[in-house]
Each structure stands twice: as structure tokens, then as C-alpha cells.
Structure 1
């Protein structure tokens, strides 16, 4: 017997999350909820608790998809005339490593190989019909799977056309995804497909935090007793949800309400019409939850706070969020007057028939005022305190900021090698980078950059029997050919067996690791030069985001080196770290190269199949510590073929020592003069690099 889940009505300090989940459960057509937040904020606990309070369902026993026997759904197993039963609403969890076949369904291999029948085997979308499909760490899921899930959530159907199977079945799901932004972001196009988004952060109120700990400890000590204490409130919430589901279809959306929603969405300059539609549906669900029969200003405000913030994030470096003062101003604006209606001779003048002002609440208004004035989001069942996040801050690379005055370069005169006072250069607007494509064929994680053997792609061969990797798709033609050859040799049974299975070798593209090692010492500290380097690094981050690469940043200045940005896919964290990067002081080249070697070695242990490209931006000087140049040269001699490397020479002046060129020679790396890569040229050199010495290992 499984332990009871944590009660939904026992959740504390997550009001926005509770509201979004309830509204999505009332109206699944909203399109699901994306829950963003730091670790340890009960995201998964809330989703699992929601399934326990959803009303029970009538299900046709003969239906593989769990359809309602009283509804005339276009179901492949219909019409549903047989016996029915009652079951709880389902919660289906999608693992990060799930394949597309497991999600959408596929050919039933047992029946296809044993009986020769092309039968359909339902997937997770069929299992989750009329329930919740929960995807933890949705930002780590492959993009094509996220597209499939969001399409099904938006259309309410799943259509499969593959492997000789052609079927379309209902898949009305409440899609809930959770993610930690520190581990990477979703593309803006995918963000827009989620109906609602909530950012969850742990409360800073000691009383709220203490209550969270108290309830969690009590639930762990006696799960059954703790759940029994909330049984009455859970049952009450279930009844309220069922009533809201029945009444949401009767909610009236007046013309003035639709114009207000359109004005709000246009005022925030969101793309497309999905925001307007989702906001209208959410406002109707909010009104139904509050027990009203029409949508009010408070319903629209609550809906906009959940449906618009993530849709304003158009570029990877844009910060999500919503200006609530602007929202209030847009809601308070007077609607535009109706165009005059020509007289028709009757007495039906088209006056204001909308009745009460959108600011007025009807007598059935059961919403509870909380927080800011005018905010009437439904209070959670336990009445816990609201814990909203802070207003978003300006992105660190905002090009609208004025340029700062030029600072004098700080000379590197410290006899001890300690860091001189540091300055901070500002990157300009990133530019588009041409794709870096390593030569050879790798076997790294699926991405969009270099050729590789991947679980998904173009079929280029067949794996030897018994040596296929996990997740390799079945090659149907090769399987039938092997079975025919075996039968011709009169060995084994006359039908296809498991020994005849053959799996396809597929070729696609992989993601790579781009590790940048930036010399931030005083000799590199010319403001314009560092600005150009930062702009190039920012552009590489943008390109890596689009190509699904991972990017790391190592800096060295003063007397040491540090990993300013561990290898990551989070462009937001990368942009913020890059904006704070200071420069000035001596040049600890040996320490910088040592740190780069450590990062590469550590990443190779983490994922041996991921190929790396190291880009070292320096003038080649080594001025920190005893025998600095000799130590740097020794490390370069020992570098070998640890990784493909490019050295960007930043030495300037009429008389040059050629230290960066010597460094490149010792490392077996390409050497590029800064004059060739100034400003927008750095990324072009990096992404044009297709030399024959790139390793495919």
C-alpha cells in the first residue's frame, strides 16, 4: 500500500502556484502550467497533491483511452456502449529520458511480429487523457518531445502517422511542467505554448518557513494521520472544483471584457493572439472559481499575471516578468467608444448594454482581497500568506542604456603580482554567429551543431544484431529481411522472432562544449578591446543557445584563474556573469591554462562523448609569479591533443614578441591575430573553423 500524498490544502506559501494549478484543472483548454523556481520549493509536491483532489471520472471499460461513456468523442474504440466504471483522475509522470514512441504510442511489435497485424499500442498521452501529465525538468526534455506534448495539450488530440499506423485519439490533458532556470531555459517559442507560468520562490518570512517545516515533519512522521487531518478540506475542495468545472462554460465574456483583454495584451506588446485567448479562458475559469457568472476586472488582472509574463520574453537574454503598474493602468483605461450605428427607424438604439462597470463585482463575488489593491486571486484553501516574487530587473546587456565614459587603462605595475584596481567593460548588442561545425562524426548528446550518430535522425545503416545501443529505433525492413533469410535457411520458426530484430543507425547532429578562456589582465584591459571580446562571447552564448551547446567561461587576471561560468546551457546566468566580469592586473597565464585543462578533464569524465572546443583569448604574456613564462610554456607543451584549441592573439603595437603565436604552436592550436577578429570578427573565425585536425572522438 502506497503512502498518501501530501494534502493539497496543507500547502503553505505558494499561492500563485496553487491558483494556477486550480485554474488549469477547471479549464484544461488553458494549455497547462509551467512552474519555474528554485529547488526545494514543493513544485512536484503540489502537482502530485492536485491529482488527489480532482473529481472522480466515469470511464468506459472497453476504451483504451479512458473516455467518458456519456460523451460522443471521436474515439477509435467508440461508440462506448458497454459497461462503465468510476476511477480517480490519473497523474502520469513523463521521465526525462522518454522516447517519442513511448509518448505518442507506436506499433505494437508483439502483435506485428507474432500475428502480422499493424496494431496501435497507446502511449503516455493516451494514459493521461482526462488527467494530469506531469513533466519534471521539462527544460531538459528534447525539444521535439516538448513540441509533441504542447500540440496535444492545445489540440486535445494525439495523431500518429508512423510505422504503418494511422490513428487519432482524444488526449485532453492538463499539462504541468516544472523547471529550475539555473539548468537552462526553454525557447521563447515553447514558452508561449504553455498557457500559464508561475515563478516559485521560498518565502523569506520566518513564520511561513517555520510552518512549512512543521507540516513537512508531521507528514513524514505520520503520513496517514496527517492526511486524515485534512480529509474534510480536501473533500470540500474537490466539490468546489467539480462545481467550477460545470459553471465555467456558462461564464459570459462581454464585448467590453474582450476589448479590455485585447487592450492589456496589446499594451504589453506580446506576439500573436495566443495570449488573448489564454487570458480570456483563464479569466473565465477564475470567475467560475470565485462563483461569479461574469468576468470582472479582478479576474482579468489575475489571469494576466499568470498568462503574460513568459510571453514577453522574446529573446534568450530577455528577463521574464510583468510591470504590474502598467497592467493596472491598462485595466483602468476607458474603453474606446463604439462606432456610431446608423439609424434603422426602430427604437433599438445601441446604447451601453454591458451593465455594470468591469470594476464592479457581482453579489456572488467570493474572491478574497490579498496583497496589492485590486488583486482578487482566489485564496488557497488553507488561507496561507501570499509570497509573490520581486519585480524583474533590467537585463545586464540592455542595449538601451547609455554608454559609460571611457576609463583610463590601469597600468600593471604591482611588484607582487596582486590584482590592480579592476574596471568592467560593457558588451554591445550581440550579433548572429555562423554555425561552428566540428569535422568528423561524433556521438555526443543530441543538438543542432556537429554531425553525430544520434538516437534520432536519418537512417544510414543497421546495427549488428545484439550490439544495438539503448534507444535505437527498430529497422523494420532489415528485420523482415533477416527473418526471410533465416526462413530460407530453414532455421527456427516460420514467423518473425525476437532474434530477427534489427535496429537502425541514425545520423543527426550533436551539441558541443565551447569553453572560452579570457585573459582579463591589465595588458588586455583596453576598454574597447574588452568590450569587443565580451560582445563576441555574448554572441557565442546566443549561438550556443540556438544550437543547444553548453558554454563555459574561464578568466585569469591578477595572481590566479577562476571558472567564471561552469559549463551550462543557461544563457541568462551566462549573460549576467559576463556583464560582471572585471579586468585589470597581471597575467597569470599558467594558472589560466591549468584551470582550462581541469575543466576539460572534468567535463570529459562527466560525458566522454561530448566534444569540446577551447578558445583562448590572450596576448601571450605571463607576468604573474616566478618563472611565469616558463611555467606557461611547460603546460602548453604538455597540452597535447586534450581538446581542439584556437588561440586569439590580442598583442598590439609596432614591436610584437610573438608570445601568443608561440603558445599556439606549443599547443598545436590555430593562431589568429586580433586584427583579423576585431569587434564582430571573433565569432566568424571561431565558427568558420573547419580544419582537418579536429578530433571526432
Structure 2
């Protein structure tokens, strides 16, 4: 079934249905990924969600520190009381409500891990500043995805959230509420006290209306018959998830929970076929990674007609025949068709083209983190000597605060007693810039094509070098040796000038090219950078290090050079530009490198592969 053309008004209505579902069970459904730029459309959707929530709503600032996120020692209260006093963090404050996360595509890995752990357990483990406590933290997440097409929310969080909404194509004109139904959704307090958007906590008054939540109510067929319930909803959703290439088990479980919420809002004890279809549209369709395989035709022996249903005196014979035909269609196929029809338009185009594109690294990505004693971004503190680092005064006072009642004996109670064991110095980390070293096979009759691809990829990556704080280098091997034709640089003008005069042709001294790339990468590492080698070749070496021809010796030396890359732990990506995946694949295995077969690569696909490999 081909998907219908996306209607912005229909997308907005679907987002309101998703908001009503999420508001009914924020922690159970995990949350919502809302892809939309900052503006009135997104603000209107958030206001609508806030009006349906009964719990607190907290907004998480970008770059939030651990003591604010998960809590820690309340320093003023501890100094007054002379004993440790816990200060609740933002996640504990949001217990029973929702946390709104702006710029979610740029969350730090540590923050992602803490959010994921809290979603899994519903509690927050506070173990810092000498404290050990478990605080309730049952909340839902609203991740505001504001990135470009190559920036995505961390998969560890996206997998735990049931709903995904894309409002990037909705204008303010389409973002209107069905005013005749809003009063039925929640009873908003009008006593003038408190938050005017805070709904009453009574469960009956907080139930969404059936007409709003049960989106296409399954009265779907002109005969007035409803979709038949499936025998096992779990098996149905798992089968649909498998058919669309969804590997995570969380997706069908979240879809089942969503179906139960839809059924409960309609007054049914368990989910029926229409509930499963609606849940699959909302939860499974945005996660699809492939299209289901076409159904195989049944053999004549297996294609036995189903037994006719018992006659119904109130139904014409032709209606009974139509029901028999519809009953012959498996419930899984019905849900499959529903998910296929709900696939986003851009996702369907990518799937029909052969699969989702390579995900690139975020634009703000920099090199690997490295410890620095005097400069960098603070990432906590540890015990140490202030003469060998930067003193963290607040952390020092926190370490000393719990002992003040014992240390103040016989001293001025207004003083704070600090011992050398209390000293804390800052832990600082700075990002080293990444240098991508292109090692390009410039030999043979196909050299012009490979050089064109490399030139285009270098120019594309250099255009992002300022934002990504990356550098680019180019090593070309041809004839009897290899040379560094472009030292590490961010200068796009210099790179274009050097690339324009790069010659091609001759033999394939693959081992010499790998040696030159390794020497350059080790130099980058010694200077504090993070090197990444990108090798574009078909893997068919025919010139040894000595300059003599011979495929056998040249191939052995190339594998030996690849093993040296593995021994030096140099990150490597092998892009196979050959028509047959033989030599380049063996080279990648010897170097323990990522292997990417791109026999018909262009500059865009090469640069996307590089960004995905260096993410």
C-alpha cells in the first residue's frame, strides 16, 4: 500500500493524538522525540502538552552539570546542620512529570547514560560527595531535536522513547487546536490560583476524550464492521517489527503499551486490531529500516478457502461473503499495511532506494577527549594537591562540611576547618582536533575517477572543518612510491590548489601508501591530535616497497602494513572502490578497520562514510 501524501494538518492532528497518549503515561511510554525548529509551532505543541500533564514540567538547560542533574550535597544546609544534607537534582524534581530537553542531538554521553538509567529503573542512584541514596525519578522525556539532517538523537535514548513527531513541515496556520474538543480533554482549573495550565489530578477528569485519542476510529469499512481483534497482540507487533527491520525489542513492547492506552481510553479491557494498527503507526513506522518482503504466492494445496461463517439472518449474503474474504487476511498483514501506509515520505524514499543513508557525526563533534591538568572543560574533581592543579573550592568545602561538628570542638564556630584530605582539584578535559588522512590509490586506468571522488570528499569535509575543528591531509600512492601531497590543513584554498595538480596513473604501491599514512598519523598523535586514516582503494597491490613489480610480494607487504596499523591502534576506514570485494576486504580484516564497499562512490557518499566512521 503506497503511503498517502503527507498533509501538514494531518501531521499536526497526529501530533496532538501523540501528546494525549504521552500525557496519560509519561514514564510508561518513555517520551517523545519532537523534531522541529524553535518557533511558535513547537511552542504551541509544548503548551498543549503542558496543559494536559498533571505532574511537574522541568526544562533541562544545555550543558547541565551533574550536581544539578542528579543532585548532591547541599553545601549551605550541610554547613548549618553539621551533617550531610542531600540536594535533589532536576531529575528527582521531575518525578511524576516530564523533562524537556532542548538540543537533544548534542547531549553529552554521560548525560545520555544517566537519563537512560533513570528511564529504565524509575529511580536515581545518587552516589557522590560522600552520599549514597536512591531517589524516585519516574518521568518522561521530550527531546527537542533541532539538528540538521546529519544530526540525530543518541540511539540509547531514542530506543527508549515510544513516540517520534516531525513538525518541521507544519506552518503556524495548520497548527490549530480542535476547539470543540479541547474542553473534553481536561478540566483546566479556573479558580485563579496556581498554574492556570495545571490540570486537576483526578483520574476521571484527566482522561482524554475518545473522539480525540482514538484517531481513525476503526469504523473503517462501509459495512460498519470493526477490525477483528488479533489472537496474540505481542506476537503480532513482534512480527511487524521484524518485517520492517526493527531489531530492538523495546519497540514492540512500547507499541503494546501504547495500544493498551488507546484501548483503555476507549473503554475496552484489551487492545483490538484497530488499537494495534494505531499503535504500530505511531511507534513502529518511524523506526522502520526496510520494507517487508513481498508475500509469497501460496500453492494450490495450501490455498484452501476458510470455512464459511455461520449464517446471519440480519446480514445479506453478499456481506457475509465479504466478511469471509476479509477474515482470510492475516491480522499481521493488516497491521503491516497500516504501518506501510504511515511511513514518513522521506523515510519511504530512502527505503525504496535500498536502505537508510549513513548517519554522519554531529556538526559540533571534535576530537577525542584527553586529560589536561591546567586547561580544558571541567568534568568534576578528585582529591589532589592544589600545587599540581587548579583548586576546586566548592568541592573542597563539600568534602569538609560533614566533619565540621567534630572539628569545631574548642575552636571558633564561625570558622570552617579544612584539612589536606579535603582538598579537591578540578578534572579538566580538552578535545584534541581530529585529522582525517585520506590515503588514495592514484594508480591505474580508474585513477581519475577515484581522484575525483577523493577531491570532492576532501572539499566537502574541509567546508565543515571550521565547525568541526577538524583538519584534512592527503596521501597519494602511484608508480613506485607514495607522497604526502597535502599536509594537515584547514585551508580550503590551499587544498583545492594542491588537489587540482594531483597526477594519476602507474602501478599500485599499496604498502608504501599505508606506511606513509601511518607515519603521518603517528606524527599527528604525538602532537596531541586524533588521527583517522581513510583508505580508498580496490586492494589490488602490484608494486612492492622496493619498487619491483609482482602481485604476490606486493600483496603480502600490503597485509603486513595493514597489521602495523592494527598494532599502532590507528583508527582506519577502508572504502572499497573495486567491483569485486576481495583485496580491500582482506586488507580491512588485517588492519581491523571498518569496511565500506562503495564501488560506485561519489564525493557525497565518501564524505558521509567518513563522518559515520569517525563519529
TM-score category (smaller protein): 0.5 to 0.7
User: SS of the counterpart of 1:177?
Assistant: strand
Q: Match of 1:53? A: 51
Deviations 1:615-668 (A, max 9, x none): x9x9997569xxxxxxxxxxx9xx99998698999999879999xxxxxxxxxx
- Per mean C-alpha deviation after superposition, the further-off stretch among 26-35 and 268-277 is 268-277
Map of 2:127 onto structure 1: 161
| 1:186 positional shift | 4.1
* Alignment map for 1:560-579 (pairs within 5 Å): 561=459, 563=461, 566-567=464-465
Q: Which of 84, 93, 110 lines up with 1:127 in the alignment?
A: 93
Q: 1:484 to 1:503 in 2, by over 3 A?
A: farther
**1:300: Cα distance to partner?**
1.4
**How big is each residue's C-alpha offset from its partner over 1:272-330, in whole Å with a ceiling of 9 and x where there is no partner?**
6423321111111223345555422232122223333576xxxxxxxx64648989x9x
Separation (CA, whole Å) in 2 of partners of 1:246 and 1:569: 47
Question: Superposed, which structure 2 residues align to 1:628-647 within 5 Å?
Answer: none
Judge conservation of contact 1:35–1:198 (CA < 8 Å) in 2.
Answer: yes
State the Cα deviation string for residues 482-515 of structure 1 (Å, max 9, x = none). Answer: 9899989978834459xx98543336x7654323
Length-normalised TM-score, structure 2: 0.54
CA contact (8 A) 1:51 1:91 kept: no
- Encode CA deviations 1:33-71: one digit per residue, 9 max, x unaligned: 34253635767425531344225x5xxxxxxxxxxxxxx
SS of equivalent residue, structure 1 residue 211: coil
Q: Is the 8 A contact 1:451 1:510 kept in 2?
A: yes
Contact 2:280 2:338 in 1 (8 A): no
Q: Which residue of 2 aligns with 1:198?
A: 165
1:546-566 CA distance string (max 9 Å, x none): xxxxxxxxx5379x9554662
CA shift in 2, pair 1:324/1:656, >3 Å? closer
Which residue of 1 is the match for residue 436 of structure 2? 516
Give per-residue Cα distances to partners, 1:163-198, cap 9 Å, x unaligned. 343333332212111222546334433332223333
Q: Quick check: 648-657 or 96-105, which moved more?
A: 648-657
**2: distance between equivalents of 1:481 and 1:295?**
54
Offset of 1:19 from its aligned partner?
3.0
Aligned in 2, Cα 1:163/1:449: closer, same or farther, shift over 3 Å?
Answer: closer
Q: Please report how far the alpha carbon of residue 230 of structure 1 lies from its aligned counterpart in structure 2 after TM superposition.
A: 8.2
1:301 corresponds to 2:277: yes
Match of 2:138 among 166, 172, 186: 172
What CA distance in whole angstroms lies between the structure 1 residues aligned with 2:100 and 2:133? Answer: 24
Q: How many residues align?
A: 447
Query: Quick one: structure 1 residues 186 and 686, their matched pair in 2 at CA, closer, same or farther if it must change by over 3 Å?
Result: farther
**Aligned position for 1:288:** 264
Aligned counterpart, 1:493 = 414
Matching of residues 615-694 of structure 1 within 5 Å = 622=502, 676=558, 684=566, 687-688=569-570
Partner of residue 237 from structure 1, selected from 158, 180, 185: 185
User: What's the RMSD between the two structures over aligned residues?
Assistant: 6.3
Match of 1:366 in 2: none
Is 1:455 the counterpart of 2:378? The answer is yes
SS of residue matched to 1:393: helix
**Contact 1:518 1:556 (8 Å CA) reproduced:** no
User: In the alignment, which residue of structure 2 is the partner of 1:19?
Assistant: 17
Confirm whether residue 145 of structure 1 aligns to residue 111 of structure 2.
yes
Task: Give the structure-1-normalised TM-score.
Answer: 0.48
User: Is the aligned partner of 1:103 residue 2:69?
Assistant: yes
Deviation digits for residues 201-247 of structure 1, max 9, x if unmatched?
Answer: 415xxxxx47259x8xxxxxxxxxxxxx9877543332599659659
Q: 1:123 Cα deviation (Å)?
A: 1.4
Name the CA distance, whole Å, in 2 between partners of 1:387 and 1:680. Answer: 43
Residue 448 of structure 1, CA deviation = 6.0
Give the distance between the partners of 1:324 and 1:44, measured in 2 at CA.
33
- Separation in 1, partners of 2:493, 2:131: 46
CA distance in 1, matches of 2:397, 2:92: 24
Q: Which of 416, 425, 431 is matched with 1:504 structurally?
A: 425
Contact 1:183 1:568 in 2 (8 A): no
CA distance in 2, matches of 1:38, 1:680: 45
Contact 1:321–1:391 at 8 Å: present in 2 too?
A: no
- Compared with structure 1, are the counterparts of its residues 177 and 163 closer, same or farther at alpha carbon in structure 2 (3 Å cutoff)? same
In the other structure, the counterpart of 1:114 is 80
The 1-side partners of 2:183 and 2:274 are apart by 27
Matched residue, 2:348: 391
Change (3 A) 1:686 1:12: farther
Structure 2, unmatched stretches of 5+, are 1-7, 189-198, 215-228, 303-322, 328-335, 359-363, 471-477, 505-519, 548-554, 572-615
Secondary structure of 1:515's partner? strand
C-alpha spacing 1:117/1:391, structure 2 compared with 1 (3 Å)? same
User: Which runs of 5 or more structure 1 residues have no equivalent in the other structure?
Assistant: 1-9, 58-88, 204-208, 216-228, 312-319, 335-355, 361-371, 379-385, 402-426, 428-443, 535-554, 575-583, 602-613, 625-635, 659-672, 690-697
Shift of 1:104: 1.7
- The superposition leaves residues 357-403 of structure 1 with CA deviations (integer Å, 9 ceiling, x where unpaired) of 9x99xxxxxxxxxxx9858999xxxxxxx98654152599979x9xx
Instruction: Report the 3-state secondary structure (helix = DSSP H, G, I; strand = E; otherwise coil) of the residue aligned with 2:124.
Output: strand
Q: 1:297 to 1:101 in 2, by over 3 A?
A: same
Deviation per CA, 1:128-168, whole angstroms, max 9, x where unpaired? Answer: 22222101122312222222223323433333233343333
* C-alpha distance in 2 between matches for 1:387 and 1:45: 23
Contact 1:158 1:168 in 2 (8 A): yes
CA distance in 2, matches of 1:484, 1:566: 56
SS of structure 2 residue aligned to 1:18: helix
Instruction: Check conservation: 1:462, 1:503, Cα contact below 8 A.
Output: yes
Separation in structure 2 between the aligned mates of residue 683 and residue 449 of structure 1, nearest angstrom: 21
Stretch of structure 1 that moved more, 30-39 or 639-648: 639-648
Contact kept? 2:163, 2:283, Cα under 8 Å = yes
